[in-house]
Structure 1
Amino acid sequence: MSRPSPTDSPAPETQFEEGTSVHGGRPTFGLRRYQDEGQPIVVLYELLPAEQAHARRERHERRGRSITIKEFNELFDDPPMIHARGAEWDDWAAMKVARLSGSRLQSVLPVIREALGEAGIEHSPVSSTEGGEVFVPERVGVKLALAFVGVKDLRRVDRMRGLSRGIARMSTEECYYWHAKTRSPTSPNGVKALRTLLTDHIN
């Protein structure tokens, strides 16, 4: 797997407990699982101050991309206060990364279980129950975001599984590099490049 050079790879934020130093230890991603007509759905959200979320949406809209943003308290009934050290969430937003179901969700579940397990976070609320929430630090969320956006529009199960396996093997540095490419409004082909890297060998 090709690795980014030190010169073009964005430096990850310093990790602090279960979040980042920038946001005072808050988790910066949230997973929410629910049932829709008997079908399990898992949605990954990035958590950030509402002002930053709306500014990012404006940048993407100028490039013709749409982003769904909701108030944190509109989605999550049980804020992760233990991880956030008692912080308030009133001025925070949840920006949807991707919504998965069916074979796409099944292909990503191993990545969810492994990434959360390595971080010491219980994955069952979003991997094996009818509904639940899990909040994760940035380094975990970045890896999950790659898996979610990578499989979102794939049709072949073998490619979904191949992409998920490739992301599971990525180092933290590689995940941050590809996350920056796939979410940047100035890099419209970032997701396509990621899929080519991890699935182009699958005929």
Structure 2
Amino acid sequence: MTASQNVTTALSRRLAAVTGVRGFRLIVHPGRGETYGLTIEETYGEAGSVLATAVVALTPQQTGRIIDALIAAIRGSGHQPSVLTFTRKAPIRLTESYGVRLALILMATQPIAKHERVRALVAGINAMSTEETYYWYSKCIGIDANRARKALRTLLSGD
């Protein structure tokens, strides 16, 4: 076997280790009392070999503001809302479309303090089609993520 065949074989083995579709998972971080923060991770692969990268993390105060969107994503992914507890150890798997929508909501509302504006952003993202949420998600995690997030907030809240 030649050197280039060895490299090709080794490369294909590494790439073949992660097969499957893209998904998301929620990781619960206990706070004080019965509160919890969240991290949403984008995952590639199935149970045995998963690559994951953190998309956004929320404090317990930020989590409380978007609880309705959180419950909708959990239900849409086929789970009961009761899986979301402050004592949860295992990540909660989300389907791709619900994960994209929830991640977009988390990214857009994270720096906002006004509750009326948070509600306007959540309502605006929930009114988007699936294709629109994928578009904005790709912009909000790309090279100019801060500018895209600001543009999304301006578009949806009118500020």
CA RMSD in angstroms, aligned pairs only: 2.3
Identical positions, percent: 29
Q: Distance in 2 between matches of 1:144 and 1:176?
A: 11
Question: What is the DSSP-based 3-state SS (H/G/I as helix, E as strand, rest coil) of the residue aligned with 1:189?
Answer: helix
Equivalenced residue count is 139
Structure 1 position 183 matched with structure 2 position 141: yes
* Contact 2:25/2:40 (8 A) holds in 1: yes
Whichever residue aligns with residue 35 of structure 1, its letter is P
Structure 1 position 46 matched with structure 2 position 42: yes
* Contact 1:48/1:94 (8 A) holds in 2: no
Scaled by the length of structure 2, the TM-score of the pair is 0.75
Structure 1 position 119 matched with structure 2 position 77: yes
* Contact 2:23/2:44 (8 A) holds in 1: yes
* Contact 2:29/2:38 (8 A) holds in 1: yes
Question: What is the DSSP-based 3-state SS (H/G/I as helix, E as strand, rest coil) of the residue aligned with 1:47?
Answer: strand
Structure 1: gaps of 5 or more residues: 1-21, 50-83
Q: Distance in 2 between matches of 1:187 and 1:130?
A: 30
Give the alignment partner of residue 149 of structure 1, picking from 89, 101, 107.
Answer: 107
Whichever residue aligns with residue 31 of structure 1, its letter is L
Whichever residue aligns with residue 149 of structure 1, its letter is M
Q: Deviations over 1:24-72 (max 9, x none)?
A: 24x52110123123332122111247xxxxxxxxxxxxxxxxxxxxxxx
Q: Relative contact order: is structure 1 or structure 2 higher (C-alpha 8 Å, sep ≥ 6)?
A: 1
* Contact 1:46/1:97 (8 A) holds in 2: no
* Contact 1:32/1:42 (8 A) holds in 2: yes
Aligned residue for 1:200?
158
Scaled by the length of structure 1, the TM-score of the pair is 0.60
Aligned residue for 2:86?
130
Whichever residue aligns with residue 97 of structure 1, its letter is V
Q: Distance in 2 between matches of 1:139 and 1:158?
A: 26
Q: Distance in 2 between matches of 1:137 and 1:145?
A: 12
Give the CA deviation at 1:88.
1.5
Structure 1 runs of 4+ aligned residues shifted over 4 Å read none
Give the CA deviation at 1:190.
0.6
